[in-house]
Structure 1
Amino acid sequence: MAYRTHRGRAWIITPALNSERFPTAHAASAGVALVDLEDSVAPADKQRARHKAEKYFHATDTASTLGVRMNSPLTLDGIKDLVALAGYTARPDLVLVPKTESARDIELVASVLDAPGYTPDIWALIETPRAFDHLPQILAAPRLGGVVFGSADYAATVRCAMTWEALLYVRAALVNAATAAGIPAIDAPAFHLDDPDALREEAERAKELGFFGKGAVHPRQAAVINEVFLPSETEIARARAIVAAGEKSGNSVTAVDGQMVGTPFFAAARAVVADADAAR
């Protein structure tokens, strides 16, 4: 998978028309830095955005995975996006497919873009009620790398509030389905531009639910998201202690710092240790 988990757990997105922001996005310490051809670009500007977006992928001084959010492949603009992307001299490592509602959406993108020596990571943006009704089928797509929750479009369609409580069910459903399919899920951005405490609280809740990372609406949010989702030194030390206790007990139930631990605790601790070792 192209996504570099050790770089960070934040996903940032930059409008393709704002090429002056590209260097900032590349330097934001995000796991994935996307250039946007979809919601941030007016219909009349789509072709100009496609032309400007190619410059985004020529960066050589970033450790982030560089990707693109295209338009839905079931639209004319989405088809034009695919034609443009296929012709780029520098191409994205990751393609985020909005309004995904079937595995065919992923297969269509792969069939157009896959080429000798180039198979981009393809992720689905899950943001409609129909998509949630078809999650098992979507997540079975062989070329699917992961899923991202689109809270704004979902809430607008359902006409529900964008509060944590109103969207808790679909968030949990997405994490559950993604875990069953063995792929990561990224939470929707927090749209609080100037409230780092609200961002941190929402990121912590997303992590508690099982999300692998979280979207960001501004590069300065990346540091908070990375701090929340990447294991702290305290978490790493405890995880190593649990792994050691499991090995010592032959993976039988034992105790660490007064807490009973067993098989599921050992598995969770090994995952934390693996993340920490990869980051180093």
Structure 2
Amino acid sequence: MTRISRRPGRAWIITPGLHADRFAGAQTSGAAVAVVDIEDSVALPDKQTARTASEAFFALPNPPCTLGIRMNSLTTIDGIKDLVALAAYTARPDLIVVPKVESPRDIELVAAALDAGGYTPDIWALIESPRAFDSLPAIMRAPRLGGVFFGSADYAASVHCGLGWDALHYARSALINAATAANIPAIDAPTWELDDPGILRRDAERAKELGFYGKGCVHPRHVPVINDIFTPTVEEISEARAIVAAADASGGTVTTVDGQMRGTPFFTAARAFLAEADGTS
């Protein structure tokens, strides 16, 4: 299925649902998407407290960004309780992140529980298990799926591998391929090193090069770096314009640009890049 997906933005910040004092900081961090988390960052005894407290995250008359929630897995009692609570929220999330997705049925269940007159939240799948990767083509066909988010920590724990880029390169590549085939965006996992901006910048550059639409983070100071990396540079725009100009001048046949051979795939990529950079895609 080919779809035109809503693409809410490049930098995503995740903040714990138990810490209401951090809500405003996440919402005003400059991230395009702020997600309150009531799954992994909340211990079992505190789930109900976080579920109740998180409603305040959405009670803004004019939110500065897209506001979302990461609920609990639908294979748990807390996931079912989350759906009941979310359906009763007075102020509702723009976006739902569904963890541990391994079947399109997970997306369908969330849509069935929450879709209502005038309200159809964007539903994103957190892909974080080997079984999910085995089922990617089916998951991507879920009609209400808005995008996918890579869950690196859970995936690495499942396959007993490291969190380094090389160890997770296959998983990231497989996710990008499947998401692109379905015409939906993929967001890379956060960088877990909080105090080294060099590591974050390197990870963000690699994620962009691989084809991720954006990247998650867990601290506001990571947001400017992610925004910087994923914002097209003057040089990138200039290079794309040169390729398109060369394509037009050559009538679409193979040509050269700055000593490099360029043909149809490069022309297509440059036009798509400029369309997105100009905000027309």
- The bucket for the TM-score relative to the shorter chain is over 0.9
Q: TM-score, normalised by structure 2?
A: 0.94
Residue type at the aligned position of 2:58: F
Q: Is the 8 A contact 2:23 2:57 kept in 1?
A: yes
**1:72 Cα deviation after fit:** 0.8
Distance 1:121 1:228 in 2: 25
Over the aligned positions, Cα root-mean-square deviation in angstroms equals: 1.4
Partner of 1:24: helix, strand, or coil? Answer: helix
Q: Is the 8 A contact 2:7 2:185 kept in 1?
A: no
Q: Is the 8 A contact 1:71 1:97 kept in 2?
A: yes
Partner of 2:23: 22
Distance 1:141 1:258 in 2: 44
Instruction: Say yes or no: does 1:245 pair with 2:246.
Output: yes
Distance 1:214 1:132 in 2: 19
Partner of 2:97: 96
Q: Is the 8 A contact 1:26 1:61 kept in 2?
A: no
**1:253 Cα deviation after fit:** 1.6
Partner of 1:199: 200
Distance 1:242 1:30 in 2: 31
Partner of 2:64: helix, strand, or coil? Answer: coil
Distance 1:172 1:247 in 2: 32
Distance 1:236 1:69 in 2: 35
Partner of 2:11: 10
Deviation digits for residues 20-73 of structure 1 (CA, Å, limit 9, x no counterpart): 111111111112110001011111111111111111112245432110000012
Partner of 2:278: helix, strand, or coil? Answer: helix
Residue type at the aligned position of 2:101: T
Partner of 1:260: helix, strand, or coil? Answer: strand
Partner of 1:228: 229
Deviation digits for residues 75-132 of structure 1 (CA, Å, limit 9, x no counterpart): 1101111111111111111100000000000000000011111111101000001001
Q: Is the 8 A contact 2:37 2:70 kept in 1?
A: yes
Partner of 2:223: helix, strand, or coil? Answer: helix
Residue type at the aligned position of 1:165: D
Distance 2:241 2:203 in 1: 27
Distance 2:178 2:8 in 1: 22
Distance 1:63 1:4 in 2: 12
Q: What are the ranges of 5 or more consecutive residues in structure 2 without an aligned counterpart?
A: none
Partner of 1:66: 67
Partner of 1:92: helix, strand, or coil? Answer: coil
Partner of 2:279: helix, strand, or coil? Answer: helix
Residue type at the aligned position of 1:215: G
Instruction: Judge which range, 200-209 or 247-256, deviates more.
Output: 247-256
Partner of 2:151: 150
Q: Is the 8 A contact 1:35 1:69 kept in 2?
A: yes
Residue type at the aligned position of 2:155: Y
**1:19 Cα deviation after fit:** 0.8
**1:270 Cα deviation after fit:** 1.6
Partner of 1:32: 33
Q: Is the 8 A contact 2:11 2:32 kept in 1?
A: yes
Q: Is the 8 A contact 2:150 2:187 kept in 1?
A: yes
**1:2 Cα deviation after fit:** 4.8
Residue type at the aligned position of 1:54: E
Residue type at the aligned position of 2:88: G
Distance 1:228 1:151 in 2: 20
Residue type at the aligned position of 2:225: V
5 Å-filtered alignment, 1:127-206, equals 127-206=128-207
Distance 2:254 2:124 in 1: 38
Partner of 1:278: helix, strand, or coil? Answer: coil
Q: What are the ranges of 5 or more consecutive residues in structure 1 without an aligned counterpart?
A: none
Distance 2:13 2:128 in 1: 17
